[in-house]
Amino acid sequence: MYNKILVGYDGSDGSKECLKSGAELAKSSNAKLTAFWVGGYKPYYHETKAEIDEERLSVENFAKSLQNDIEEFKSKENIDIEFVYVIGNPAKEIVSYAKKNDFDLIIIGHKGHSSLWDSLGHVADKVSENAHCNVLIVRNKTK
């Protein structure tokens, strides 16, 4: 059914539901599964190199915590998952990465962590409008 599945993952409850759905689909279709996070820097002017470095370190530390989540999930579910992160606009980066790497399904949560990006337009809406492949939008079951 699917060969390559890209899951938007930011550590939120919704993205954990996406990862579970992706794992089920990957197991049933023997697909490659990739968890993908898009980090960003706060949209304000950094006055010093130290502030820029501090922001970069914060993003890298968060990415490491997400990778640890993925490693735990891999062990628990006995499935291979690649974790990739980039810096940029979430919707644009998800769509671009999926197209460039020939994914045939994107799984994304209805809402994630970032209120900043929500204010710029829902990531899920933008991904579903612009993706070259199928998009599965997963609602958070805890709500």
Measure the CA angle with vertex 121, ends 115 and 126; round to 5°. Answer: 125
Which residues have a Cβ under 8 Å from the Cβ of 42 and sit 6 or more positions away?
55, 116
Give residue 122's pLDDT. 84
Q: In this structure, are residues 33 and 80 in contact, taking their beta carbons and an 8 Å threshold?
A: yes
H-type helices in the chain, by residue range?
A: 13-29, 49-77, 90-100, 115-119, 123-130
Q: State the CB neighbour count (10 A cutoff) for residue 68.
A: 12
Joined together, the tokens standing for residue 12 give: 């939120």
Q: What angle do CA 8, 12, 106 make, to 5 degrees?
A: 15
Each residue's pLDDT tens digit, 77-124: 999 999 999 999 999 999 999 999 999 999 998 865 554 444 445 888
Model's pTM, two decimal places? 0.87
- Only one residue has tokens 């279709």, namely 29
Q: Could you give all domains of the chain from N- to C-terminal order, each with its CATH number?
A: 4-138 (3.40.50.620)
Band of the pLDDT at 140, cuts 50, 70, 90? confident
Q: What is the pLDDT of residues 38-68, one digit of tens each?
A: 997 665 666 787 877 888 888 899 999 999 9
Q: Residue 32: beta bridge partners? A: 4
